[in-house]
Amino acid sequence: MTVRQKPVGEQVVVITGASSGIGLATARLFAARGVKGLVLVARNEDALRKIAEELEEQGVHAVPVAADASKREELEAVSRKAIETFGGYDTWVNDAAVALYGTLDEIPIPDQRQLFEVNYWGVVYGSLIAARHLRARGGTIVNVGSVLSERAILLQTQYSAAKHAVKGFTDGLRMELEQEGAPIWVTLIKPSSIDTPYVEHARNYLGDNAKVPPPAYDPDLVAKAIVFASENRRRELTIGFGGWVIGAMGKVAPRLTDKTMEMMGYGAQTTRQPERAGMRDNLYQPREDGDTHSSLDTMTRKTSVLLAAQIHPLATAAILAGVGAAVAALLLPIGASSAPRRRQPLRRFQPVVRKNGNGHDKRSYGPGHLAGRDASVRPPQVRH
Cα R_g (the chain), whole angstroms: 34
- Determine the angle formed by the axes of helices 122-137 and 157-180, rounding to 10 degrees: 20
Taking alpha carbons only, the member of 190, 183, 188 closest to residue 172 is 188
Q: What distance in Å separates the CA atoms of residue 282 and residue 43, rounded to the nearest whole number?
A: 10
> Residue 375 — pLDDT band, cuts 50, 70, 90?
very low
pLDDT, residue 50, reads 98
pLDDT in tens, 292-303: 999 999 899 999
Q: For the chain, what percentages of helix, strand and coil (3-state, to nearest 5) are there?
A: 45, 15, 40
Cα angle for residues 66, 29, 276 (degrees, 5° grid): 60
Picking from 49-53, 194-198, 215-219, 258-262, which range would have the lowest pLDDT averaged per residue?
258-262
pLDDT in tens, 187-203: 999 999 999 999 999 99
Instruction: Say which DSSP state 210 is in.
Output: E
Picking from 100-114, 121-135, 252-266, which range would have the lowest pLDDT averaged per residue?
252-266
Q: Indicate whether 356 pLDDT > 80.
A: no
pLDDT, residue 124, reads 98
Taking alpha carbons only, the member of 154, 156, 33, 170 closest to residue 92 is 170
Q: Indicate whether 282 pLDDT > 80.
A: yes
- Cα dihedral sign, 57-59-63-68: negative
Residue 42 burial (10 A CB sphere; 0-12, 13-18, 19+): buried
Q: Indicate whether 372 pLDDT > 50.
A: no
Domains observed in the chain:
8-323 (3.40.50.720)
Section 267-291 average pLDDT: 95
> Residue 337 — pLDDT band, cuts 50, 70, 90?
very low
pLDDT in tens, 52-104: 999 999 999 999 999 999 999 999 999 999 999 999 999 999 999 999 999 99
Q: Show which residues are catalytic.
A: 159
Which residues face 216 on adjacent strands? 300
Taking alpha carbons only, the member of 70, 189, 170 closest to residue 119 is 70
Mean pLDDT for all residues in the chain: 88
